[in-house]
Amino acid sequence: MRLTMYTDFSLRVLMYVGAKEKSQLSTIQEISTAYGISKNHLMKVTYELGKHGYIETIRGRGGGIRLSMDPAEINIGSVVRRTEDDFYLVECFNCATNRCVITPVCKLRTLLRDALEAYFKVLDGHTLQDVLVNKEQLGAILFMK
């Protein structure tokens, strides 16, 4: 399974703002420069992260973004579920468009569904705090640009 760039960018934005102190604001320009990502992409990502309550936006001069909750409360599995369009690993996962003739007897479908559940079990077992355990090292790389 491969995550979309949108989900990748969402997780990276959360890591960036999470690596800063709670009182420090980040700008989209800073994040764009640090990761080498388009500002336009990041504007869409930060808007959605704000809608889902992960970050808060402070408008005006000197404004920016920061986490709106403790990193220990941001579950990685939940973020991935909210930012991915679908989890149709194969055609038969989508009942509306499935045309595979072997679906009624296919054992691969069950195997792949189990694999997807295991994937989410791992992601659900971790929070943003878990990926920020090396905050100082992340900051040394991200905030130097």
Q: What is the mean pLDDT of each run of 10 residues along the chain (145 residues)?
A: 92 97 94 96 96 94 94 98 91 90 91 95 98 94 83
The token pair that represents 20 in the structure block? 């800063």
The per-residue pLDDT for 62 is 86
In degrees and rounded to multiples of 5, residue 33 shows phi and psi of: -65, -45
Asked if residues 76 and 84 have their Cβ atoms less than 8 Å apart, the reply is no
State the pTM of this model. Answer: 0.90
Asked if residues 21 and 32 have their Cβ atoms less than 8 Å apart, the reply is no
The per-residue pLDDT for 61 is 87
Contacts of 38 (CB under 8 A, 6+ apart): 32
